[in-house]
Amino acid sequence: MTTAPVLSLILAAGKGTRMCSQLPKPMHRLAHRSMLGHVMATVQKAGHTEIAVIIGPHMELLRDEAYTHSAECRVYIQPKQLGTADAVLSAREALAKHTGDIFILFADTPLLRSETLQKISATLDQGANIVVVGFETQDPTGYGRLLTDTQGNLKAIREHNEASELERKIRICNSGVMAFRCCDIIKMLNKIKNNNTKREFYLTDIVEIAHNDNLQSRVVICDEEELLGINNRAQLASAELKFQKQIRLEVMNNGVTLVDPSSVWFAYDTKLGQDVTIEPNVFFGSGVTIADGVYIRANSYIEGAIIGSCASVGPFTRLRPGAKLGSHSNIGNFVEAKNVDIGEKVKANHLSYLGDGTIGSESNIGAGTIFCNYDGFHKHRTQIGKESFIGSNTSLVAPVKLGKGVIIGSGSVITKNVPDGTLALERSSQIHKKGWATRFRTMMLRKK
């Protein structure tokens, strides 16, 4: 098996006009990660050490997206849309310097698995110079056909528009994914002509050129769904559904209970421990880590949060980035938490906003508690010590620090620090005006 570095060229220069979007097509997201990000993650997982991304002119957003997933990747621009072979040659510099295997991938196939790339590498190790990934489909209309000889070697790829009637009956189709182990790929690419109906330089023609040069090309067959190319938003939604089905099955096989699997939506990087239970209609954004034994009740939205073991969340809870829940904590219905460190066994059962702060272990946060963290210009933090009790309908105006074992009376607006073990109250005196309500009601009924 080769130990030489592998170069992955990811073609991402297509305009994607059928997406009807101002964004380049590979920027559209699947499970909270761009399609380009998915493909780059796949090649990295497969052990490919060098990545080059081919983009079109004025695609600075896509260039920046590539760098977020690999600061060491190289980005090349294809000035004109002259076909896939022309796109590959846009990375001529990278091709000329590279001495190992070369993979050609597409940024709009986010369901491609690293296991498939490893299977391709194994086929190269068995003596193939070129490997093409194909799939079998009941309706091959529009796809290039893979033409093989009697020994099963690939001798040509014929685009649908160029194929004969006999060739169109072939149901083994080209996915576009290719890999090369040959001495001079640039020389082979330069032999490709554009004498076809679209006047484009098809990368697929390289197989026939290799066959004429007595180089061996082989086919690796994969599942059609894995090779799904996304060209419009309906296909994006279909790919999202396929991805979610895969991850739901995976988490359940790893010890997570999904009460209604089809109603739970994960991000690409959701991490779940064992014996986690998730009720219906729960949505995960990116950056969520959940420890063992957590119970998440229905209709909660969680992103960028860390949840400790045996904690309880929901129903109708929103956890935003930076929320950290300690073990055995309880965050209940209509509680929103953001950038707050919540200690062990803390209870905030309902109707509160906890933003920018810390809550010590075994504290109780009453209904209607608000961390007033924003002064109109800057964010400030609220600190609550261990074993404190915050009465209902309390506003804590940051920056403010409450000590250990503090009790805050209901309805208070706390603007000053509170020492350990102190009861803090902030209320106006209660005034009674006897008979006022009766007289007011009588007056209003007369007017009505």
Question: So what's the pLDDT on residue 428?
Answer: 85
| 3-state per-residue secondary structure call for the chain | CCCCCCEEEEECCCCCHHHCCCCCHHHCEECCEEHHHHHHHHHHHCCCCEEEEEECCCCHHHHHHHHHHCCCCEEEECCCCCCHHHHHHCCHHHHHHCCCCEEEEECCCCCCCHHHHHHHHHHHHCCCCEEEEEEECCCCCCCCEEEECCCCCEEEEECHHHCCHHHHCCCEEEEEEEEECCCCHHHHHHCCCCCCCCCCCCCCHHHHHHHHCCCCEEEEECCCHHHCCCCCHHHHHHHHHHHHHHHHHHHHHCCEEECCHHHCECCCCCEECCCEEECCCCEECCCCEECCCCEECCCCEECCCEECCCCEECCCCEECCCCEECCCCEEEEEEEEEEEEECCCCEEEEEEEEEEEEECCCCEECCCCEEECECCCCECCEEECCCCEECCCCEEECCEEECCCCEECCCCEECCCECCCCEECCCCCCCCCCCHHHHHHHHHHHHC
Q: 38, 350, 378, 432: which is the annotated catalytic residue?
A: 350
Which residues of the chain are modeled with pLDDT < 70? 1-3
Question: So what's the pLDDT on residue 2?
Answer: 53
Q: Which residues contact 58 (CB under 8 A, 6 or more apart)?
A: none
Question: So what's the pLDDT on residue 3?
Answer: 65
Mean pLDDT for all residues in the chain: 95
Question: So what's the pLDDT on residue 162?
Answer: 84
Question: So what's the pLDDT on residue 244?
Answer: 98
Active site residue 28: no
